[in-house]
């Protein structure tokens, strides 16, 4: 093999490896669990498997700050009986509660998110919040729903009546879905 051929093969291998390690940008909006409305916030992620980092965009709701996201690819077993299960998800620490209040709240949020929009022919939940409030040592399922490629400021989804259904608030954190209590 000539030097030129070895050099060409080396360059192709390097390009192939760098493409495999490239970060994949993902921007997805959140749709409610009943599919009737889209929330005004959305997520932007940079994925470099098995890691993901990003921004939980809250400024699209008129709020002063965004939340940050960081986490790993993970899998939630169906036996957990949560809306989002499977191995094509990322488990992300989310600072949204602190960003909403502009201070330390003690609320710890994990955003479990898929990375693809919902397929209307086979709808499957694509995101959920699991969280813990300060010193409660309980895990709660907050809100959950579908993912969409539409983000606020673009084309909000429409409900059955054909009217705009953008919800002007971010996700709910409710405490009536206790997962475990220690």
Q: Is residue 91 part of a domain?
A: yes
How many percent of the chain have pLDDT more than 90?
A: 55
Confidence of residue 88 (pLDDT cuts 50, 70, 90): confident
Number of structural domains (the chain) is 1
Q: Domain range holding 153? A: 23-181
Q: Is residue 46 part of a domain?
A: yes
Q: Is residue 1 part of a domain?
A: no
Q: How far apart are CA 128 and CA 138, in angstroms?
A: 16
The residue assigned the tokens 């729903």 is 145
pLDDT in tens, 92-116: 999 999 998 889 998 999 999 999 9
pLDDT in tens, 62-75: 999 999 999 999 99
pLDDT in tens, 46-62: 999 999 999 999 999 99
Task: Determine contact, residues 165/37, Cβ cutoff 8 Å.
Answer: yes
Total residue length of the chain? 182
Confidence of residue 138 (pLDDT cuts 50, 70, 90): confident
Q: Is residue 5 part of a domain?
A: no
Confidence of residue 139 (pLDDT cuts 50, 70, 90): confident
More confident residue, 9 or 43: 43
Q: Is residue 132 part of a domain?
A: yes
Lowest-confidence segment of 55-64, 82-91, 92-101, 153-162 by average pLDDT:
153-162
Q: Is residue 17 part of a domain?
A: no
What's the mean per-residue pLDDT of the chain? 80
Confidence of residue 144 (pLDDT cuts 50, 70, 90): very high
Q: Is residue 3 part of a domain?
A: no
* pLDDT above 70 (res 26): yes
The residue assigned the tokens 């940008």 is 25
**Mean per-residue pLDDT, 33-43:** 94
DSSP 48-99: ETTEEEEEEE-GGGT-S--EEEEEEEEEE-GGG--SS-EEEEEEEEE-HHHH
96 Cβ contact list (under 8 Å, min separation 6): 56, 58, 67, 109, 170, 171
Task: Determine contact, residues 112/124, Cβ cutoff 8 Å.
Answer: no
Q: Is residue 126 part of a domain?
A: yes
């Amino acid at each position: 093999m000539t030097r030129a051929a070895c050099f060409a093969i080396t360059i192709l291998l390097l390009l192939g490896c760098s493409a495999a390690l490239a970060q994949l940008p993902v921007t997805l909006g959140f749709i409610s669990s009943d599919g009737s409305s889209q929330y005004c916030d959305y997520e932007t992620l940079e994925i470099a498997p098995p890691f993901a980092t990003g921004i939980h965009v809250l400024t699209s709701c008129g709020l002063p700050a965004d939340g940050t996201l960081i986490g790993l690819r993970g899998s939630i077993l169906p036996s957990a009986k949560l809306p989002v299960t499977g191995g094509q998800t990322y488990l992300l620490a989310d600072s949204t509660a602190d960003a909403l209040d502009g201070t330390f709240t003690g609320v710890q949020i994990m955003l479990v998110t898929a990375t693809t929009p919902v397929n209307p022919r086979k709808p499957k939940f694509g995101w959920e919040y699991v969280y813990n409030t300060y010193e409660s040592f309980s895990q709660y399922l907050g809100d959950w729903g579908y993912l969409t490629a539409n983000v606020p400021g673009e084309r909000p989804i429409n409900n059955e009546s054909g009217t705009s259904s953008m919800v002007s608030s971010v996700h709910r954190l409710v405490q009536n879905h206790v997962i475990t209590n220690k």
